Amino acid sequence: MKRTHTGWSAEEDNLLLNAVEQARRAHTPLQAAFESVADATARRPNSVRNRYYSELRVRENAEPLFTPFTDSESDALIRAVLLARAEGQSVRACTMALAGGDTRRMLRYQNKYRAMLKNCPDRINGMRSLLEKEGFQTPDPYMPDPHLPRVGRPPKVPIPATAIRRLLDALYDDLLALGSGEVS
């Protein structure tokens, strides 16, 4: 028999708030908290999530659910990432430094930068031009970095079979020497 819900009790609200607080302390996704409360209350996880965000909106001192970036914040982020990339830092390392070690803020900055990279190439290139006028050379974020390894792809130049054979022979000789006790 399907249970019909007419509202949330104070106990259910407390259960939800406690589950969310535990998830935050454990650095686990809120979705896991929503699912555990859904199991405990015979509700759907989406209903639990909606209740949580609905309650956040009505609480006086609740932190805002989402604060969009201002144009100046977006420009500062682009500038910081481009300058860090010019020094050889990764986007992730730069955004982590900007966030002061706060992983949530780092992900927010990183996602914003990558979204602007995808959706606002004129803005990115405009900042690159401005930095160039100021005397900074920044790498083109739309070109692959030649210094990074080509993850998941074969090397550009195949390794000759003779080189592989020499390597395997040397490894075999080393293993034989280790097995016979010749090498300590």
- Are 18 and 54 part of one and the same domain? yes
Q: Is residue 46 part of a domain?
A: yes
pLDDT in tens, 82-113: 999 999 888 999 999 999 988 888 998 999 99
Does some domain include residue 147? no
Q: What does residue 118 show for φ and ψ, rounded to 5 degrees?
A: -75, -45
19 and 49 together in one domain? yes
Its domain, for residue 33, covers 10-58
- C-alpha–C-alpha distance, residues 73 and 79, integer Å: 10
Dihedral sign for Cα atoms in the order 28, 30, 35, 41? positive
Backbone angles phi, psi at 25, to 5 degrees: -65, -35
Residues 118 and 80 in one domain: yes
Per-residue pLDDT of the chain (184 residues; tens, 9 = 90+): 455 666 788 888 888 888 988 888 888 888 888 999 999 999 998 888 888 887 777 665 555 555 788 999 999 999 999 999 999 888 999 999 999 988 888 998 999 999 999 999 999 999 999 999 999 999 899 887 666 665 566 666 777 889 889 999 999 999 998 888 776 5
Separation of alpha carbons 135 and 184, rounded Å: 56
Q: Is residue 143 part of a domain?
A: no
23, part of any domain: yes
Residues 128, 77 share a domain: yes
Considering the domain architecture, whether residues 16 and 54 belong to the same structural domain is answered as yes
Is pTM beyond 0.85 here?
A: no
Q: What per-residue confidence (pLDDT) applies to 25?
A: 86
Tell me, yes or no, whether 65 lies in a domain: no
Work out how many domains the chain is built from and give that number. 2
Let me know whether 54 and 75 are in one domain: no
Instruction: Give CA separation, 177 vs 102, 173, 183, in Å.
Output: 51, 6, 6
Task: Give domain status of residue 141, yes or no.
Answer: no
Place of tokens 């010749």: 182
Q: Which residues of 138-175 are buried (b: 16+ CB within 10 A; e: fewer)?
A: beebeeeeeeeeeeeeeeeeeeeeeeeeeeeeeeeeee
Residue 174 lies in a domain: no
Asked, for residue 144, whether it belongs to a domain, the answer is: no
